[in-house]
Amino acid sequence: MPIRGRHRLRRPVRSRGTVAGVLWLLAAAPGRAQVSPGELSAAHADLEGIRNCVACHDVQAGSMESRCLACHEGVAWTIEQDRGFHAHLEEGKTCARCHPEHAGREFELIAWEEGDPERFDHERAGWPLEGAHATAKCRACHKPEFQVSPAFHRLRRKDPRLSWIGLERECLACHADPH
């Protein structure tokens, strides 16, 4: 039986609407990747969402590194004071080279070039391990009661278990009597 009247026109309109909807969804998927290439790490989860992109990606506000250091004041302080690992990085090395983002909530943002913090070369931080320090485990020194540096107090999230920043160079900062 032939379709007559209004019903005859509705079928092609519905089909075109369906096709248009499918095409829109297919086109939108790569567009979302252009907005965000992936989920942020747990440490930066509060910055997730299109409205927060400019917190890190704002061309008018300066380089990406300047945006990182605006939030990571403890790291910025160590660089200004010429102290610690970040102050001794090679010229032109970017934050993202060691701390890549958009790799998901479970991604660990501290990348150890040596593969493990236990094998970290402290000479790269301007603090070569000598004497008893050479055989000490990381957390024998990097523990809350020794994290007294102004750099540590400039950290926004002050969880000493998650930070390697905050030690002082002076012996008395860790040792009651160095002799």
pLDDT band at 102 (very low <50, low <70, confident <90, very high): very high
On whether the CB atoms of residues 94 and 68 are closer than 8 A, the answer is no
Q: Which residue has the higher pLDDT, 12 or 70?
A: 70
Length of the chain: 179
pLDDT band at 101 (very low <50, low <70, confident <90, very high): very high
* Neighbour tally for 95: CB within 10 Å: 21
C-alpha span between 9 and 17 (Å, rounded): 13
**H helices present in the chain, as ranges:** 6-35, 64-71, 73-80, 84-87, 95-98, 138-141, 150-153
On whether the CB atoms of residues 85 and 166 are closer than 8 A, the answer is no
Residue 72 burial by CB count (10 A; 0-12/13-18/19+): exposed, middle or buried? buried
Output the pLDDT for position 20.
Answer: 59
Specify the pTM: 0.70
Output the pLDDT for position 165.
Answer: 83
Q: How many CA atoms lie within 13 A of 10 on its CB side?
A: 5
